[in-house]
Amino acid sequence: MSVLATIDWVVIALYFTIILGIAWWVIRQGNDTSEEFFLAGRNLGWFVIGASIFASNIGSEHIVGLAGAGATSGVAMAHYELHAWCLLVLGWILAPFYMRSNIYTMPEFLEKRFSPTARWVLSVISLVAYVLTKIAVGIFAGGVVFAVLLPEMSFMGLDSFWIGSILVIILTGIYTILGGLKAVAYTEAIQTVILIFGSLMVTIYGLQALGGWDELKSIAGTEMFNLWKPLVPAGIEGTWAPVKTGTQMAWYFNGNYPWLGMLFCAPIIGLWYWCTDQYIVQRMLGAPNLTEARRGTIAASFFKLLPVFIFIIPGIICYALAVSGKNQEIAQTLLDGNGKLITANAQQVFPLLVAKILPSGIRGIVVAGLLAALMSSLAGVFNACSTLFTMDLYPKFSTNVSEKNLVRIGRIATGVMVVIGLLWIPVIKGSRGLYDYLQSVQGYLAPPIFVVFFFGIFNKRMNAKGAMAALLVGFAMGLFRLAIDTPVTLTEGFHYEEGTFFWIINNIFFQYYSLLIFLVSAAAMLIVSYRTEAPNPEQIQGLTLGTVSAEQKAETKATYQTIDYVFSGLVIVLILAAYLYFQG
């Protein structure tokens, strides 16, 4: 039986009518050139850029996964969300290099900085990463939402989970193919407003059902609101070892997030994602100039602070409603016979709150925003995949590079990746949790990409051979860990014999393994670069910090305005305030 009332369906229908109307209006303006289709004609304003970055980021892994992480681990995951400062690094430090290069893709920047081979390798790595994370996880989360909100739906033997997954794919695919980045960006701006409003309603109504903020902290316990104190459960001895062994576990944040790993690994993943990932940076590349690009990233950094309060806190609220017995329906879903949280069911936390706490009408707004956010996240990654394959890979294998043919091939490639993403759903369903899965996979793939971009921009001595060494070695190490982890994740009851090499690799906390990949990749790039010839100064002119001309520096400085400094400083103040508040 559907939990949605008639008024909810009316609200949802009205919302999607508005969204489709905006998309149709954008489509009618035409997407005849590659620049219009992939970069919205480089004419996006700062608010649209900021909202589009936020909406693309806030998809499945946040709406479903981050709320689930809040229920299981409290505010520990806020560390990732408080990396809004990474967007300031993008806007103030990296944007001048990207905008000056007039690029379509991040791999294209590596070609200009290093070599065509570096571009090809990063394109392949990025496409693999999107299949393993964003596409598969987005589809899975759409299925979770449908399974909770429309549990009785079935069609030709398929339950609501699979129906929801398939519908999300079809609707998003059509939406992306017809509209390009411009349609995606403008609809995402509207979706951001609706999603924030709806999610705030979830937090407000959840607190009302629970009895207020003080009651929440009393029921959940201060440890759920502690960002700083490493926690070790009763009966388990704390150790600094990177591998869980019997009754010993590394000092950690609620099970899977060791302190040292969070301190050093999380910023690497954050800077890779916000500053070098095509999925995010492509929106900024759609800006007409550096000023709009920077302001778009500043706006996005403000939006990025909100998930702590609109996703993590609702997750803790849902947990508190269950363990306190104040909502028996939620308790029956989330708790086992001993009153303990069922980790596998934590992914249902956010849609459960929507179904059980919100009044009719408000529920419709939240569900519309929820489904639209899932679709916008997938639309963003489909567009990014299409851009990467069309602009970076296909021209290497065919001479037929007319713009019409490029777009057609990109659409076919996107369809293939969607099918592969569907095949990965069982892997994600069996993992420790949606957000855990995403962060661990990103932790394996991010370090070498971070190294080549940041080392390449900040050190003019880095060359193409060093970049290739870092990419290939780092990517191989990441795929090796994924190959070791997958059987354990996919096959119930499968495990490696304790003490064996594979067991050690599988049981190293993913943050520590990510740090190992970073150190090896960095060493490979530095050693190979300094033991081989220096890059051609003319090739890297304006692409590294040490080769920016006086004229280029003056052009960049001319875009600085006081208001940009003020709001960037405010973001930093808000981040520090959050860290000071969440001390248990």
Q: Per mean pLDDT, which of 180-189, 228-237, 464-473, 483-492 is the most reliable?
A: 464-473
pLDDT value of position 427: 61
Check residues 335 and 210 and name the one with the higher pLDDT.
210
> Which tokens in the block code for residue 62?
């946040």
State mean pLDDT over 480-502.
79
CA distance 571 to 302: 6
pLDDT at 463: 96
C-alpha to C-alpha distance for 186 and 97, rounded to whole angstroms: 26
In a domain, 308, yes or no: yes
Q: Quote the tokens at residue 566.
A: 């003020």
Distance CA 466, CA 31 (A): 39
Angstrom CA distances, 441 to 291, 438, 513, 514, 521, stand at 34, 5, 11, 9, 17
Q: Are 104 and 365 in contact (CB under 8 A)?
A: no
Higher-pLDDT residue of 165, 357:
357
98 part of a folded domain? yes
- How confident is the model over 440-466, as pLDDT tens digits? 677 888 899 999 999 999 999 999 999
Of these ranges, 87-91, 122-126, 536-540, the one predicted with the greatest mean pLDDT is 87-91
By three-state DSSP, how is residue 231 classified?
A: strand
- For the chain, what percent of residues have pLDDT higher than 70? 81
Question: Which range of residues forms the domain containing residue 431?
Answer: 6-581
Q: What is the pLDDT of residues 78-120, one digit of tens each?
A: 777 888 999 999 999 999 999 998 888 899 999 999 999 999 8
In contact, 203 and 308? CB cutoff 8 Å: no
pLDDT at 451: 96
Structure tokens at 510: 């993913």
Q: Which residues contact 30 (CB under 8 A, 6 or more apart)?
A: 36
Top-confidence range, 96-105, 187-196, 462-471:
462-471
Cα–Cα distance for residue pair 319/223, rounded to 1 Å: 14
What is the structure's pLDDT at 50? 92
Counting beta carbons within 10 angstroms of the beta carbon of residue 118, is it exposed (0 to 12), middle (13 to 18) or buried (19 or more)?
buried
| pLDDT tops 70 at residue 430 | no
Residue 1 has pLDDT above 60, yes or no: no
What gap in Å lies between CA 243 and CA 512, rounded to an integer?
9
The three state secondary structure string of 142-203 is: HHHHHHHHCCCCEECCEEHHHHHHHHHHHHHHHHHHHHHHHHHHHHHHHHHHHHHHHHHHHH
Please tell me the distance from the alpha carbon of residue 44 to that of residue 382, in angstroms, as a whole number.
Answer: 19
Higher pLDDT, 224 or 175: 224
What mean pLDDT comes out for the span 302-323? 88
In this prediction, residue 118 carries a pLDDT of 92
Confidence of residue 230 (pLDDT cuts 50, 70, 90): very low
Q: Which residues contact 215 (CB under 8 A, 6 or more apart)?
A: 320
Q: Cα–Cα distance between 471 and 574 in angstroms, integer?
A: 35
How many separate domains does the chain show? 1
Region 286-291: mean pLDDT is 92
Share of the chain above pLDDT 90, in %: 26
In a domain, 99, yes or no: yes
Q: How confident is the model at residue 297 (pLDDT cuts 50, 70, 90)?
A: very high
Is residue 231's pLDDT more than 50? no
Please, what is the angle between helix 160-210 and helix 362-388, to 10°? 130
Mean pLDDT of the chain: 80
CATH of the domain at 182: 1.20.1730.10
Residue 161 — pLDDT band, cuts 50, 70, 90? low
Instruction: Give the chain's end-to-end CA distance (angstroms, integer).
Output: 40
Specify if 1 maps to a domain.
Answer: no
Name the amino acid, one letter, at 260: L
Least confident range of 10-24, 60-74, 136-150 = 136-150
pLDDT digits (tens, 9 = 90+) for 540-555: 999 999 999 999 999 9
CA separation, residue 262 to residues 21, 89, 269, 379, 439 (Å): 43, 19, 10, 30, 11
Rounded to the nearest angstrom, the gap between the alpha carbon of residue 129 and the centroid of all alpha carbons in its chain is 11
pLDDT at 166 > cutoff 80: no
Give the Cα-Cα-Cα angle 117, 123, 127 (nearest 5 degrees). 150
In three-state form (DSSP H/G/I as H, E/B as E, the rest C), the secondary structure along 243-271 is: ECECCEEECEECCCEEHHHHHHHHHHHHH
Which band of pLDDT confidence, cut at 50, 70 and 90, is reported for residue 468?
Answer: very high
Specify the pLDDT at position 97. Answer: 94
Strand, coil or helix: 237: strand
Widest Cα–Cα separation across the chain:
70
Q: HSE of 465 in the Cβ direction (CA atoms, 13 Å)?
A: 11
pLDDT band at 253; cut points 50, 70, 90:
very low
The residues pairing with 335 across neighbouring beta strands, listed in sequence order, are: 341
Torsion from C-alpha of 301, 303, 306, 311, nearest 10 degrees = -110
Q: What is the pLDDT of residues 371-418, one digit of tens each?
A: 777 777 777 788 788 888 888 888 877 776 777 777 777 777 777 777
User: Any idea which of 251-265, 483-497, 567-581 has the lowest mean pLDDT?
Assistant: 251-265
| Predicted confidence (pLDDT) at residue 180 exceeds the cutoff of 60 | yes
- pLDDT tens per residue, range 9-56: 888 888 878 877 877 887 777 666 666 766 666 778 899 999 989 888
Sole residue written with tokens 């991040």: 106
Report the pLDDT value the prediction gives residue 219, as an integer from 0 to 100. Answer: 87
For residue 559, give every residue at least 6 positions away whose Cβ sits within 8 Å of its Cβ, in sequence order, or none. 289, 290, 291, 294
Q: From CA 76, how far away is CA 277, in angstroms rounded? A: 24
Which residue carries 């505010």 as its tokens?
A: 75
pLDDT at residue 179 in the model: 67
- The single-letter DSSP state of residue 497 is P
Q: Which amino acid is at 415?
A: G
Confidence (pLDDT) at 251: 39
Task: List the one residue out of 473, 480, 481, 475 whose CA is nearest residue 507.
Answer: 481
pLDDT at site 238? 45
Name the residue with higher pLDDT: 139 or 78: 78
**Strand pairing class (252-253; 257-258):** antiparallel
